Amino acid sequence: MRVAFFWVLVLMLLAVAVAVSNKARILLVSLLPAMESPVKTYPLPGLTEWRPVGEKRISSSDNPNARQVSFGRALHTDSHGSDEISTVIAPAFELDWIAEPNMFVTEGPVFDGAGNIYFCPVYPTENALLVSIEPEHGKRRWVVEGFSLGCGTPYVLIDPDTGDDVIYLGTYDRAMALTTEGKVLWDVPTGLPTLDPSVIDGNKHSFGMNYLARYDALVAVMGDGSVYVLDRKTGQPLLDKPYVMPGAKTGVTNFSLPKVVSLKANRDAAHMFGGQENLNGQDPVSAVLHIAAGEKQKVTNFFSIDSNTGRLWIAATLPDDADGKVDGFAEYAALYGLNLEKKGEHYQFDVHSVTQVPGGTASTPAIRADGQRVYIADAFDSVYAIDANTGEQVWSFNVGNKVAGSLTIAADNGEIYANLRTQIVKLFDRGDHAEKAWVSKLDMFEAGPFQSNFKALGAEVGANGIAFTGAVGLNAGKKKFPLKIGAGILDRETGEVRYFVEGGEDSVSSMVTGPEGGLYIGNSPLRRVLARAVLGEAKSPMPVQGGITRFKPVHNHLIVRDALWAAAGRARNAATLNNPAVVEQDIFQINQLLDQAVSVLPVALQEGVISDELLAEFQGNIISQKAALGTDSEKLLKLADNLESMSRRL
């Protein structure tokens, strides 16, 4: 009888919830007992039906860093902010480890070719500016000491002269270059004032380093709109003094935390910010919340650099008086196109274009690979395609909800993936308009009363799918409270979940794929901290953790299968093309995929899922195929047949 009465009560509350406010729904969830909301069990995914069609977009630059990357080297993967890798994401994975749990990581991590991991914590508990960990167990390799409000994401660059990986990082007042073993190549002041380590100020936050291939230079942009440019080889400034973006701080347009919630949240997260006794009454949780919402700064996101032209694309604010009143805040935001030009002994920025963005934006501008278009979202519900030559809007598309994260731009098929608050939407750029392909079907958890499934982080696109993190919890208007987290992969063709596992931690960063196909997250559990503060810790009982989460690949033969399948699709499509430059880039990607397959075969052998004989046969076949790879259509079709046959055997 008691059980029956309980469920009658739940049903009554559900009926009431349809008509009540978001505040009432939050109260109801906080009063209900904690629910299990178990994750669904997904079978191992089969082969995807997605294939490239026609010419993909490519960069005209011959710099090795302008090619498609096979793992995340910068925030949003590459200098264009594409969030796309050329290789495949592990089709099946499991939670492996969480490393450095006392560090709040809002951007990153990134990798070198050996799989080593690099990230910058924000206001850490120790004197740590940059941390490197190894991929097998997440053990610390080395640390660069120094205070920072965060150097954003380091850039792991391929040295154009030597081919070696070099790590570049930039804070507000300090920039460095290091080898992958932590040897300092140069360490220079940036020209900006020295930071006060006792003050948390989001305006002094660096979102990360980016690469300007045209001048072989490094660029960093701060929350207050300061921009510096450094010579890659020496660290010497190219500007006479740091450039300052036009505009003023944005106001608070999202929501502010009630004091009681703020106190609870900061207490829960204090171990990631130097301890409760070191906060000095400051409110780091609210500071991160405002940055994530695009508030209180001139710049609240990363920026992108076109490898074709060298043009910088930065989302920032318009001047204070652009809204007709001078009050210290900017009501409007814009996408700025900046050209770096040499004037005398130094360089300076010229504003190429200013494109107003309705209500502002918290998304990083993403550049199409050929540099002809830039994509950005506004503060409401629309995505925009901007002509990179003129700064004029080509089209806009209403995606139905606010884009809460950056856009993902694929090189193939005109595909764009918009990360909404709760879903991922796939669009096609059809030239003069956009077309919606699908809205993701997120159903990972068996959601309890008043709860729902929604996207947490997304999306990084690989040759076989879209990596994302998803959650179950309460979605109440502008407020999203995740209670459980997990990682998954979506099908590019359908938007359906191909695989999903529970585990890991919440983040305001971006999804990243490592060289081995595993999934990595920089832990910054802002939303889950708020969920615990508002709904009660029992609703999300796992203690909040910072650091880096790794989901390691399992059933590694499926990585080999998908890499061969993707290479076959690329070869079959390349055989139909007449553009030598695009075919050359297709062959480069085929080689990347075949290299991935060869590197993973021994791991599949160790798992016991393939035999020694199959390993030797596949290695020999792939190596011989690589040696014979060329632009001849008949050979490409024969290669595609061979690789598809090998894929099906796995």
pLDDT tens figures, 157-201: 999 999 999 999 999 999 999 999 999 999 999 999 998 877 778
Q: What is the mean pLDDT of residues 316-339?
A: 88
pLDDT for position 371: 98
Kindly state the average pLDDT of the residues 485-505.
Answer: 97
SS3 label, residue 498: strand
Q: Both tokens of residue 622? A: 């792939």
**Torsion sign, CA atoms 44, 47, 52, 57:** positive
> Is residue 59 predicted with pLDDT exceeding 50?
yes
Residue with tokens 């590197």: 599
Nearest to 473 by CA among 35, 6, 19: 35
Average per-residue pLDDT for the chain: 92
Contact indicator for 207, 75 with CB cutoff of 8 Å: yes
Give the sign of the dihedral formed by CA 302, CA 308, CA 310, CA 311: negative
User: How confident is the model over 391-420, as pLDDT tens digits?
Assistant: 999 999 999 998 888 899 999 999 999 999
Is 90 exceeded by the pLDDT of residue 384? Answer: yes
Cα gap 70→91, rounded to integer Å: 16
Which helix (H) or strand (E) covers residue 626, if one does?
A: helix 612-627
User: Which two tokens mark 76?
Assistant: 């949003």
- Residue 355: pLDDT band (50, 70, 90) is very high
**What is the distance, to the nearest Å, from the Cα of residue 217 to the centroid of all Cα atoms in its chain?**
23
Which comes out higher in pLDDT, residue 253 or 471?
471
pLDDT band at residue 133 using 50, 70 and 90 as cut-offs: very high
Say if residue 533's pLDDT is above 60.
yes
Query: Is the CA virtual torsion 269, 271, 273, 275 positive or negative?
Result: positive
- The predicted model gives 257-262 an average pLDDT of 89
- 600: phi then psi, degrees, rounded to nearest 5: -90, -20
Does residue 11 carry a pLDDT above 60?
Answer: no
- Mean pLDDT for 593-602 is 98
| pLDDT recorded at residue 290 | 77
Cβ-count burial 261-295 (b if 16+ within 10 Å, e if not): bbebbbebbbbbbbeeeebeebbbbbbbbbbbbbb
Q: Are 385 and 403 in contact (CB under 8 A)?
A: no
CB 435 within 8 A of CB 490: no
**Entry pTM:** 0.95
Q: How far is CA 413 from CA 10, 57, 143, 430, in A?
A: 47, 9, 42, 9
pLDDT value for 360? 74
Q: Which strands make up the sheet holding 174-179, listed edge to edge?
A: 155-158, 165-170, 174-179, 184-189
Distance CA 349, CA 268 (A): 43
Which domains are present in the chain? 1-40+72-99+407-554 (2.40.128.630), 106-244 (2.40.128.630), 246-254+293-403 (2.40.128), 558-649 (no CATH)
Q: Which amino acid is at 109?
A: P
Mention every residue, 6+ apart, whose C-beta is less than 8 A from residue 257: 265, 283, 285, 286, 289, 530
